[in-house]
Structure 1
């Protein structure tokens, strides 16, 4: 059934209804904003409002900042820990360098003292000598020998004594053009004539294939005491007299055999020795023995005939 035209609603729907124009709204809002800014600047109208809002929102801001502060604290802790570890590593490296430098300085000081002692000993010797440096220890496990950096090219002779600032170390037993082999006093085949400083008793000291020495074939009632100092006697024509050799550490008097076993410790320890002095043997410096003259033969024959 058709609706009469007079009863139709001719008002526009709400979507198409138009209020104030956009320009009017812009002008109003702009004026309101300018007014509020001027009023806030001149009259401080919104200050209490802002203060109240800030007071209300402050606990909320603190709560919201807790995760951020925690994250920043974790980051600062991690960075600080890394810096501390880096500083510790740098400090340890610097300490190691200082310890190495101190050890090097101490080693150089000890070496300097040994060299000074060698120089002082060299000036006090009456035989010719020359310095040498120990290259390495011989590889033979059953002997005590070292190799020095002086040989026939430098004038080293066979059987030359080798000493340091503490005393006698050994004797040259092999000579090469640029090096020499030294048999130490503690070698099982080494022997050296000695003199007891206390009572001027002469004897012979032998190596024991270890780190010590001993006096062999000593009578059980021999005047030997613990602590006696032994020096070279000089009767062998090799070692100069008066060089320190060993010290008596134990005396075992065996009644059943009639001999005493005397243990010694060398005055010059061969371990860790680097610089030594090589002495010229005494028999090299001795004048040659005079040969018999031809004119002496008849006289000697006459003397023999007269004795008969």
Structure 2
């Protein structure tokens, strides 16, 4: 029999099981089913937990060389590197501390400006915001210089306030700066009213006698109803300061039998020693309407007289 005529197929009794293609299709379908079932129903989660618990000792043993290498690397870090890192951390801490102080300062300034704006709304008076540049050079006066002048519409005699009350009055105006005489200056006088009793008076600066920022309420009778803690505000009768602005608070009242007037020491409400942002108000007289011109009395005509 020729070799080419031999039948190479196995006899029927050696054929067992399905074909390889059928096995591939069945296994692929089973794998796809398991993936979908695991994604939707997590049926393999218990199996994974069990295998993780069993393999944990092996993982720990394999990780020991890696952990040992990291520990040695950290241990042999040079001293210079550690010092440089410490210096960098300190510089960063100082920078953050400086920024925190700036944020706190800006917050305080924002609060002061909000209070100033609220006070301006109550007064309903034209104002100019200004900043205190420096104190005057004369040691015998209490004056400060602000950064607003004629170019910004500041007028001589304009009241100056801060977020707490009356700070002073503009006494000299330059093109770009102005001089403000503080309420504690001996030459400064402000008509005030006691908010508790309604009694009027005049406060004078008394910086040299009772402290750097004291005032004195003068010409008050010894039996006048005034007590420590009374608030004094502007009365508005002088034509300069609008009424109702806080000026000072009574600190001490001395009634002496040998004097008809009481000695009343007050402390200003404004920050005379630390004000930075202020508001310059327009004088009250410039906001009032002009006085009507006096009318000349017409002579009485004799023709209209009764006979």
TM-score normalised by the chain length of structure 1: 0.68
Q: Matches of 1:77 and 1:255 in 2, distance apart? A: 87
Residue matched to 1:68: none
1:133 to 131, 149, 160: 131
State the 1:83 CA deviation: 4.1
Deviation at 1:227, TM superposition (A): 0.4
C-alpha displacement at 1:90, in angstroms? 2.4
Aligned length: 222
What's the secondary structure of 2:124's corresponding residue?
Answer: coil
The counterpart of 2:103, out of the listed 105, 128, 148, is 105
How big is each residue's C-alpha offset from its partner over 1:23-46, in whole Å with a ceiling of 9 and x where there is no partner?
xxxxxxxxxxxxxxxxxxxxxxxx
Post-superposition CA distance 1:167-220 (Å, at most 9, x none): 110000011111111000011111100000000010001111221111112221
Counterpart pick for 2:113 among 112, 115, 122: 115
Where structure 1 has 5 or more consecutive residues not aligned to the other structure, the ranges are: 1-75, 300-308
Residue 260 (structure 1) aligns with? 262
Task: Describe the superposition over 1:199-253 as per-residue Cα deviations: whole angstroms up to 9, x where unpaired.
Answer: 0010001111221111112221111101000000000010000001110111111
Q: Distance in 2 between matches of 1:297 and 1:207?
A: 50
Deviant stretches of 4+, over 4 Å: 76-79
Which residue of structure 1 aligns with residue 253 of structure 2? 251
Q: CA deviation at 1:256?
A: 1.4
1:230: which partner in 2?
Answer: 232
Q: Report the Cα distance in structure 2 between the residues aligned to 1:244 and 1:164, rounded to whole angstroms.
A: 10
Cα 1:94–1:252 change in 2 (3 A) is: same
Question: For the pair shown, which has the larger CA radius of gyration, 1 or 2?
Answer: 1
Q: Secondary structure at the match of 1:219?
A: coil
SS of match in other structure, 2:219: strand
CA distance in 2, matches of 1:183, 1:164: 14
Q: TM-score normalised to the size of structure 2?
A: 0.68
SS in 2 for 1:218: coil
1:98-150 per-residue CA deviation (whole Å, 9 max, x = no partner) reads 11110000001111111111122222222211211212111111111111122
TM superposition shift of 1:78: 11
User: Could you say which residue in structure 2 is the equivalent of 1:25?
Assistant: none
Q: Which segments of 5 or more consecutive residues in structure 2 lack a partner in the other structure?
A: 1-74, 301-307
Which residue number in structure 2 is paired with residue 203 of structure 1? 201
Q: CA deviation at 1:77?
A: 9.6
Q: Which residue of 2 aligns with 1:305?
A: none
Which residue pairs with 1:288 in the alignment?
290
